[in-house]
Amino acid sequence: MAMRASEELAQGGRAAAAHGRRPDQARSAEKGGLIPPRRGGLSPLDPAWEAENPRGRPAKRPGESIEGPRRRRPRGARRTPIEALAGDFQAKRLQTPSMRVDDFDFHLPECRIALSPASPRDAARLLHVDGPATGDFTVAQLPSLLRRGDLLVLNDTKVIPAQLAGKRAARSSSGAVTIDVTLIRRLFGDPDLGARWRAFARPAKRLRLGDRIDFGDGLVGNVENRDGAEAIFQFNINGAEFWEALARVGKPPLPPYIARKRAVTPDDARAYQTVFAAEEGSVAAPTAGLHFTPTLFEQLKAAGVATETVTLHVGAGTFLPVTAKDTRDHVMHAEWGEITAEQAGRINAARAAGGRIVAVGTTSARLLESAADEAGVIRPFAEETDIFITPGYRFKAVDALMTNFHLPRSTLFMLVAAFAGTERMKRAYAHAIERGYRFYSYGDACLLERAKGQ
């Protein structure tokens, strides 16, 4: 049986974020008045945004040469002091503390990996970690663990049906070839042409430049370029027509540790999406947000806990393992994030009034920290972030963090170790494993109080 293209996510290659949202999409974040409406300018996917922001495109990064030619230094030209650092990666490497990745390893029995979500969503278990103390609760009890005046900050990104299966026409008597594709990044291009996407393809070696892949229901992609397991597809349609076709033929891009064990079901389209999702662009769900229900939002409001949304489009790089031995040698994937001036104002006002900023998920936490100045004030933000948070980082904006249980040796476990302490998190995870908590995307959650001295 052919392997899914999503398995490429765990086999190497530097993934990039699929970012942006439909140009024609109506704002729909206010679910029953519980989530404040979004306001802001143009989407980074809107051709008009590109025209007004010629320097605002996501920068090319290592591994993205297939998107276009790179400028070469004139022969004989001398390197500047910045270039002597061998580029952006080396500069960031010097800022990242050197730690052994093995220090963030732990044993996780395979039986603890959740293959399906809790039902109802807020029936998932919740481990409260407050200093050395731990408490076992459910997500439905979250209001009792927060304080009046606290502000929950949720990521309202929407997972796109990025998993596609298409047919490449036969070149010989061997017949047509099935090509599995996982869209990973929306690319800029001529708005009069079809949508352009960077994607993982399998088997990529069966693709040539100019190949036409028929995904069914009127959606066709031409291979514009290929580099290893990645390819760039120029589709035959764009805008609303493209998104509607993708909704008909695409499937949710389940994490590889789930996709390897079972097939995607119709229920996954609903389960692998938060109830407040509004801004299309992710190829992975902000999993801590999956636990929330309309009823839970009503109970939070009654308890005096406010909610705010921001947007960080989760990329395929979230599934990539850390293969380096030292944290300095890991290349962090970049993801597009946005906090409008209105959202930043409400977040800052909540903190100024004495409330805590409670990030729901590591994606919200990374975005908040990217947008915060040294005093912890959130500034409007609309760009990519590749912030890499490891122990020693001083959190500026996030006071508490609700998040799922993460993979060993992952950047996400490093983040929670930085927030609550490495040994404390290892003890908390050992407690969770012993008590039968369920791990990863469809698993249970924990509520972490920030370590003293942070």
Domain at 362, CATH number: 3.40.1780.10
Beta bridge partners of 392: none
- Give which of 159, 228, 158 is closest to 199, Cα–Cα: 228
Give yes or no for residue 403 having a pLDDT over 60. Answer: yes
Residue 439 pairs with which residues in a beta bridge?
Answer: 113
401 has pLDDT over 90: yes
Distance of alpha carbon 342 from alpha carbon 344, whole angstroms: 5
31 within some domain = no
- Residue 259 has a pLDDT of 81
**Could you say which DSSP state residue 365 is in?**
H
C-alpha–C-alpha distance, residues 38 and 34, integer Å: 12
Query: What is the pLDDT, as a whole number, of residue 60?
Result: 38
Question: 284 pLDDT exceeds 80?
Answer: yes
Query: What token pair was written down for 354?
Result: 């004495």
d(CA 445, CA 405): 6
Average pLDDT over residues 335-339: 95
Q: Once rounded to an integer, what is the mean pLDDT over residues 216-233?
A: 94
Least confident of 104-108, 122-126, 252-256: 252-256
Average pLDDT for residues 298-316, to the nearest whole number?
96
Is residue 31 within 8 Å of residue 277, measured between CB atoms? no
**What letter does residue 113 receive in the DSSP assignment?**
B
Whether pLDDT at 299 is above 70: yes
Residue 409 forms part of a structural domain: yes
pLDDT at position 88:
54
In a domain, 181, yes or no: no
Average pLDDT on 450-454 reads: 78
| Comparison of pLDDT for 186 and 434, the residue scoring more | 434
**74 has pLDDT over 60:** no
Q: Which helix (H) or strand (E) element contains residue 153?
A: strand 151-155
The pLDDT score that the predictor gives to residue 390 is 95
Top-confidence residue, 4 or 132: 132
* Mean pLDDT computed over 155-176: 91
Tokens, residue 97: 């503390």
Helical (H) or strand (E) element with 359 = strand 357-360
User: Does pLDDT of 353 surpass 60?
Assistant: yes
Residue 171 lies in a domain: no
Task: Determine, yes or no, domain membership for 282.
Answer: yes
How far is the C-alpha of 187 from the C-alpha of 82, rounded, in Å? 28
Residue 423 CB-density burial (10 A; 0-12 exposed, 13-18 middle, 19+ buried): exposed
Residue 47 is assigned to a structural domain of this protein: no
**CA-angle at 181, arms to 175 and 186, nearest 5°:** 140
Give domain status of residue 445, yes or no. Answer: yes
Residue 232 lies in a domain: no
If one counts the domains in the chain, the total is: 1
The residue among 244, 267, 343, 252 whose CA lies nearest residue 29 is 343
Q: Which domain holds residue 95?
A: 89-159+264-449
